[in-house]
Structure 1
Amino acid sequence: MARWAPHLIGLLTPISAAVTLLIGGWWMLTPIVLLLGLYPFLDSIAGSSTVHDVEEEGQGHNVIVHLHGILVPVVVICLLYRVWVGLGSVSIIIPALSAGLATGAAGVVAAHELGHRRPRSSSWWLGRLDLLCVLYLHFTVEHNHTHHKHWARKVDPTSSPWGRSVYGHLVRTVPRQLRNAYRIRKKDTTISILVELALLASLAAWGLPYFAAFVGQAFVAIYLLEFVNFIQHHGLERGEDERPNAGHAWESRTRWSRYTLMNLPLHAAHHLRSSTPYERLRPYDESPQLPGGYYQMFWIALIPPLFNRLMQKSANHSGGVGGA
């Protein structure tokens, strides 16, 4: 089997969202059941891979990330279509949550990958379209110019210290990232904000249900993105003059998270060379290991005392990293 083939599994998320939004009814619960119910279970039974050799580069990997990127606006269009034809007895929360899980779990991951491609290339613009779909256009500027420079430092708004909850992280990081992006590239960020406001105004003019559904899915996607930021460097603080290393990023080698999220859990490898495509990322023995896969960590992070206890235990097991 080709090494890129397992990563096709990740396409199930946006495809299931698009198809069930077109069908309507209670079928729209399918992506919710998959991502929040089945996937955490599969995270635990699929096991972890300790293989350190990287996958070969190839067109298959490139096609997969672009399919993810293309499916993001498709999911959003399907969401708006569902609102247009009617929701029936189903609350608008269900299609918004279904779409948001897809645009967050699949779309933002693709936008992150494509955002590291050559600026102004077609791949880069596809990533920008994906971010527009979740009202987070400033992410590319902040991520590439602040986070990759200051990751695991106090000045990095996406790195969270010990003891902070995901809720506290969310309310702090979003405005700080927007402010950083504006400070770094004032003109680009201003244009991004104006484009997003124009999109929201158009949806509001179309009708409040369209506006609510779109904003709802964007909120879910943003939460997923910032949840990932929250766990990737939690408590792993480095000094201002300290060179970054693999020990400053949490890693998860769970197969299900790696295959469905395009190796996103191999985060240290991404930071040590940000231009590396996802298929070339590899595990690092120096990286502390998360208590579970990303889908499992989603639920764990919602309970701060449990999250803190498990993360501290993992840090101690990894040799007291990050000042733990």
Structure 2
Amino acid sequence: MGSVVVAGTRGVASRQQSISESRWRDPRRYLWLLGLVIPLTPFLAWLGVHLFGLGLFWAAGGIVMLVVIPIVDLVVGADRTNPPDEAMADLENDRYYRWCTYLYLPLQYAGLLVACYAWTTAPMAGAERFAMATTAGIVAGVGINAAHELGHKRPKHERWLAKIALAQSFYGHFYVEHNHGHHLRVATPEDPATARYGESFWAFLPRTVFGGIRSAWRYEKARLARRGRRTWSVRNDVLNAWAMSVVLFAALLVGYGWSIAPWLALQAVFGVVFLEAVNYLEHYGLLRRKLDDGRYERVAPRHSWNSDHVCSNAFLYQLQRHSDHHANPLRRYQTLRSMRDAPQLPAGYAVLVIVAVIPPLWRRVMDPRLLAHYDGNLSRANVHPSLVGK
């Protein structure tokens, strides 16, 4: 009789646990809509200038990304909680989260049109046009992040949306290189998108840009050759992604005139610099051990820097939970977990992008953390060749 009672009690407890788990709701569910604020910043810039008459508002993108978000991160702090395992499948399949990324694209391009309109019609001085280019560049840079989220997924339409998001920054090869280059070589000296200990951002920038282009081209050339197809064809994912940018830029130049050309180019540069500054900080100095057979060990949480700051994660589709992303590239952003044994950044990406472009400040902030991560043994780190043996 006692065993029956115990079994019944366990059954009730199990049902109660199941009911509790089925009622779990994502406490950040509506925070993900904050990601849509960034592509709205060209509109906010226009509104701010016309309401207050201050040209400073043309830099609304930079103000939101590099001032507002860091302040909110400082106030709100970090949150390392994860969804329960039992809720992961439903969370992954909830289409609401996909629309939070899909909607970025129409707003991104509407904002680009606003920027072009402002450059050609608003009474702007050169500094104000430059400020608007920074705003459009922030939108493009975060657009690369939206492309990053979409480009990892299996549905073809999401992969095409990734290429569309990349067109504004003329960085379509990222779609190929990130998935088929960076994810294979991450945290190794062979990866152009992994920064080395002692390497400044400004030395890293040309290495990652040109190295990424070369890597993407080699991959596409080999892929098409295996299929018996020509390299120079519309099936080349580097070429068809770049073609989208050519068509976009040509249409804008026809529609708004050649006067927007320098600002259009500048905003693309800003978008790339923002993206590559994020790449710089994500794996700085981290190294996968080479095994006896010459291969590298599997990617582990310790090979990516993480940040669980709530606000910047909401704006960047949880990119800062980077260790789980590398362990599970197909996992959607809302289900990415905080990894307890991953090295932690001292702030969110919005702050550290600023720190990264100031090399002495970066080394003062991050080098001690890298040394602590490796217990002071730099032979375990990914060290810049100029510092090897020192």
Quote how far apart the aligned CAs of 1:23 are: 6.8
Quote how far apart the aligned CAs of 1:299 are: 1.7
Q: How many residues align?
A: 322
Q: How does 1:168-207 map to 2 (within 5 A)?
A: 168-186=203-221, 187-197=236-246, 199-200=248-249, 203=252, 207=257
Q: 2:58 aligns with which of 12, 28, 43?
A: 28
**Contact kept? 1:48, 1:254, Cα under 8 Å:** yes
The aligned counterpart of 1:98 is: 135
SS in 1 for 2:103: helix
The aligned counterpart of 2:181 is: 146
The aligned counterpart of 1:162 is: 197
Quote how far apart the aligned CAs of 1:98 are: 0.9
The aligned counterpart of 2:300 is: 245
The aligned counterpart of 2:33 is: 8
SS in 2 for 1:91: helix
SS in 1 for 2:311: helix
Quote how far apart the aligned CAs of 1:20 are: 2.4
Quote how far apart the aligned CAs of 1:139 are: 0.6
**Contact kept? 1:24, 1:87, Cα under 8 Å:** no
Q: How does 1:126-145 map to 2 (within 5 A)?
A: 126-145=161-180
TM-score, with normalisation over the residues of structure 1? 0.91
Aligned pair in 2 of structure 1 residues 196, 102: CA closer, same or farther (>3 Å)? closer
The aligned counterpart of 2:16 is: none
Specify which structure has the bigger relative contact order, considering alpha-carbon pairs within 8 angstroms and separated by 6 or more residues. 1
The aligned counterpart of 2:77 is: 47
> After alignment, is 291-300 or 279-288 more displaced?
291-300
Quote how far apart the aligned CAs of 1:199 are: 4.4
Matching residue's letter, 1:215: A
TM-score, with normalisation over the residues of structure 2? 0.76
**Contact kept? 1:69, 1:111, Cα under 8 Å:** no
Q: Which has the larger radius of gyration?
A: 2
Quote how far apart the aligned CAs of 1:194 are: 4.5
Quote how far apart the aligned CAs of 1:189 are: 2.0
**Contact kept? 2:319, 2:333, Cα under 8 Å:** yes
The aligned counterpart of 2:153 is: 117
Quote how far apart the aligned CAs of 1:260 are: 1.3
* CA distance in structure 2 between the partners assigned to 1:101 and 1:144 by the alignment: 23
The aligned counterpart of 1:231 is: 281
Matching residue's letter, 2:108: V
Q: Deviations over 1:238-296 (max 9, x none)?
A: 13432211100110011111111110100010010100000010011111001211111
Q: 1:83 aligns with which of 78, 95, 119?
A: 119
* CA distance in structure 2 between the partners assigned to 1:18 and 1:227 by the alignment: 25
**Contact kept? 1:21, 1:95, Cα under 8 Å:** no
Identity percentage of aligned residues: 30
Q: How does 1:259-274 map to 2 (within 5 A)?
A: 259-274=314-329
The aligned counterpart of 2:272 is: 222
Matching residue's letter, 1:213: W
**Contact kept? 1:75, 1:103, Cα under 8 Å:** no
**Contact kept? 1:47, 1:254, Cα under 8 Å:** yes
Matching residue's letter, 2:167: L
Q: Deviations over 1:170-192 (max 9, x none)?
A: 11110111111111113332343
* CA distance in structure 1 between the partners assigned to 2:66 and 2:100 by the alignment: 23
Unmatched tracts of structure 1, length 5 or more: none
The aligned counterpart of 2:261 is: 211
* CA distance in structure 1 between the partners assigned to 2:100 and 2:247 by the alignment: 31
Aligned-pair RMSD on alpha carbons?
Answer: 2.2
* CA distance in structure 2 between the partners assigned to 1:49 and 1:317 by the alignment: 23
Quote how far apart the aligned CAs of 1:313 are: 2.2
**Contact kept? 2:204, 2:280, Cα under 8 Å:** yes
Quote how far apart the aligned CAs of 1:201 are: 5.0
**Contact kept? 2:164, 2:244, Cα under 8 Å:** no
* CA distance in structure 1 between the partners assigned to 2:39 and 2:331 by the alignment: 24
SS in 1 for 2:128: coil
* CA distance in structure 1 between the partners assigned to 2:244 and 2:99 by the alignment: 28
SS in 1 for 2:207: helix
> After alignment, is 225-234 or 32-41 more displaced?
32-41
**Contact kept? 1:69, 1:127, Cα under 8 Å:** no
* CA distance in structure 2 between the partners assigned to 1:165 and 1:102 by the alignment: 25
* CA distance in structure 2 between the partners assigned to 1:102 and 1:196 by the alignment: 15
Quote how far apart the aligned CAs of 1:203 are: 4.9
Aligned pair in 2 of structure 1 residues 141, 305: CA closer, same or farther (>3 Å)? same
